[in-house]
């Protein structure tokens, strides 16, 4: 039964991808690393107020090699750095990202609910006011830390991010951005991102999405920007050797993933990572609700020769990586 489910899923995937027999990534893939890169997820939202320029700058100063962030699209069509569908959990505002113009959303305090208290819950909204130490900086009620500006704590546009970090590798994820998360929303946002990046000459950006349709649409409109496949694209490659689109440079799965019809699958296994490397792709993993973004799973990914680890804790990961040698086999793989 499982085989039949997989076959149907991959058959549908093949129809969507339209690019079954294209060359794999170059053997000289610059995203391949013998020691995994420290990739700060949302700028390190477990240690800093996520998706702020402040977080991005702090994580890079701590040793992060690459930035990971999500994009939203405002009411006036501007692409901004924001993880959630609404602004409720991170800012002093309420409502969906798409209900604000860029000017309106940048009036909000994007570090309003961040707290680095001892309980490890960074965005709980029921703590004493004194624990929200960055609250009020974005709106001018409090002075920013030395070396930073009030604007580092607001919602940043993608253009601001690209200007601030011209030489830093960046991973951009396309999402749907409404509670319904219809495929059409992903495609609409893929088009907005493509408009922003079509004429950007830098090649240290990777664009990805859970939805393969969004990746395909983005790649159609901005074919020179490197990409990573969606869930369907990864499944088609790992299970049935269906190569993803030209321009694919990396695969970006969690360690464990709840896949329809299969249950909980170990995606970031040694076998699958070796398969990706043999085809010329880098492997950059993130952590799902089934994983542990901590030393236990960091060690697994070092041992399995992951090329990048996306973490909410870039400061802690950097200390771990400095103290943890990569297996010699990682530098010997093609």
For residue 298, give the CATH number of its domain.
Answer: 3.20.20.190
End-to-end CA distance of the chain: 36
Q: Is the pLDDT of residue 260 over 50?
A: yes
What is the predicted pLDDT for the residue at 28?
84
What is the C-alpha to C-alpha distance for residues 127 and 251, in angstroms, rounded to an integer?
38
In a domain, 186, yes or no: yes
What is the predicted pLDDT for the residue at 199?
87
In a domain, 12, yes or no: yes
What is the C-alpha to C-alpha distance for residues 285 and 306, in angstroms, rounded to an integer?
7
Residues facing 171 on adjacent strands? 68, 206
The number of beta carbons lying within 10 Å of the beta carbon of residue 67 is 27
In a domain, 33, yes or no: yes
Angle at 100 between CA 108 and CA 217, to 5 degrees: 120
In a domain, 42, yes or no: yes
The candidate with the shortest Cα–Cα distance to 128, out of 117, 140, 138, is 117
The candidate with the shortest Cα–Cα distance to 80, out of 195, 161, 149, 183, is 161
What is the predicted pLDDT for the residue at 172?
98
Domain housing 320: 2-85+156-325
pLDDT digits (tens, 9 = 90+) for 96-145: 999 999 999 999 999 999 997 666 668 999 998 999 999 999 999 999 99
Cα radius of gyration (the chain):
20
Number of domains in the chain: 1
Q: How confident is the model over 166-179, as a mean pLDDT?
A: 89
pLDDT digits (tens, 9 = 90+) for 267-324: 999 999 999 999 999 999 999 999 999 999 999 999 999 999 999 999 999 999 999 9
The percentage of the chain sitting over the pLDDT mark of 90, rounded to a whole number, equals 81
In a domain, 44, yes or no: yes
Q: How confident is the model over 201-219, as a mean pLDDT?
A: 96
What is the C-alpha to C-alpha distance for residues 208 and 171, in angstroms, rounded to an integer?
8
Q: How confident is the model over 140-165, as a mean pLDDT?
A: 97
What is the C-alpha to C-alpha distance for residues 35 and 63, in angstroms, rounded to an integer?
14
The candidate with the shortest Cα–Cα distance to 173, out of 123, 221, 228, 255, is 228
In a domain, 41, yes or no: yes
Label residue 180 by pLDDT band (50, 70, 90). confident
Q: Which position has the higher pLDDT, 46 or 16?
A: 46
Q: Which position has the higher pLDDT, 333 or 15?
A: 333
Q: Is the pLDDT of residue 18 over 50?
A: no
Residue 151: which residues within 8 A CB-CB, separation 6 or more? 53, 138
In a domain, 317, yes or no: yes
In a domain, 93, yes or no: no
Q: How high is the mean pLDDT of the chain? A: 90
What is the predicted pLDDT for the residue at 10?
44
């Amino acid at each position: 039964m499982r085989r039949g489910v997989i076959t149907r899923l991959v058959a549908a995937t093949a129809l969507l991808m339209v690019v079954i027999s294209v060359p794999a990534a170059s053997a000289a893939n610059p995203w391949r690393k013998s020691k995994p890169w420290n990739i700060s997820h949302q700028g390190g939202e477990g240690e800093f107020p996520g998706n702020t320029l402040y977080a991005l700058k702090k994580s890079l100063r701590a040793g992060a090699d690459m930035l990971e962030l999500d994009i939203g699209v405002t009411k006036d069509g501007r692409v901004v750095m924001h993880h959630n569908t609404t602004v409720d959990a991170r800012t002093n505002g309420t409502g969906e990202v798409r209900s604000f113009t860029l000017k309106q959303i940048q009036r909000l305090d994007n570090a309003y609910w961040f707290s680095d208290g001892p309980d490890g819950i960074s965005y709980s909204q029921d703590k004493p006011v004194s624990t929200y130490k960055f609250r009020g900086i974005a709106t001018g009620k409090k002075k920013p830390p030395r070396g930073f500006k009030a604007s580092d704590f607001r919602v940043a546009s993608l253009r601001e991010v690209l200007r601030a970090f011209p030489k830093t590798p960046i991973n951009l994820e396309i999402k749907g951005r409404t509670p319904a998360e219809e495929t059409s929303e992903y495609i609409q946002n893929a088009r907005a991102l493509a408009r922003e990046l079509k004429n950007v000459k830098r090649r240290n950006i990777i664009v990805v999405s859970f939805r393969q349709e969004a990746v395909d649409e983005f790649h159609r409109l901005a074919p020179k920007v490197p990409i990573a496949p969606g869930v369907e694209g990864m499944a088609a490659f790992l299970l049935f050797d269906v190569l993803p689109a030209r321009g694919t440079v990396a695969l970006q799965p969690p360690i464990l993933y709840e896949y329809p019809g299969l249950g909980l699958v170990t995606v970031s296994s040694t076998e699958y990572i070796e398969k990706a490397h043999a085809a010329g792709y880098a492997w950059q993993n993130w952590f799902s609700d089934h994983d542990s973004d901590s030393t236990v799973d960091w060690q697994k990914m070092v041992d399995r020769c992951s090329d990048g680890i996306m973490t909410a804790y870039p400061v802690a990961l950097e200390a771990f990586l400095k103290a943890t040698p990569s297996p010699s086999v990682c530098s010997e793989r093609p």
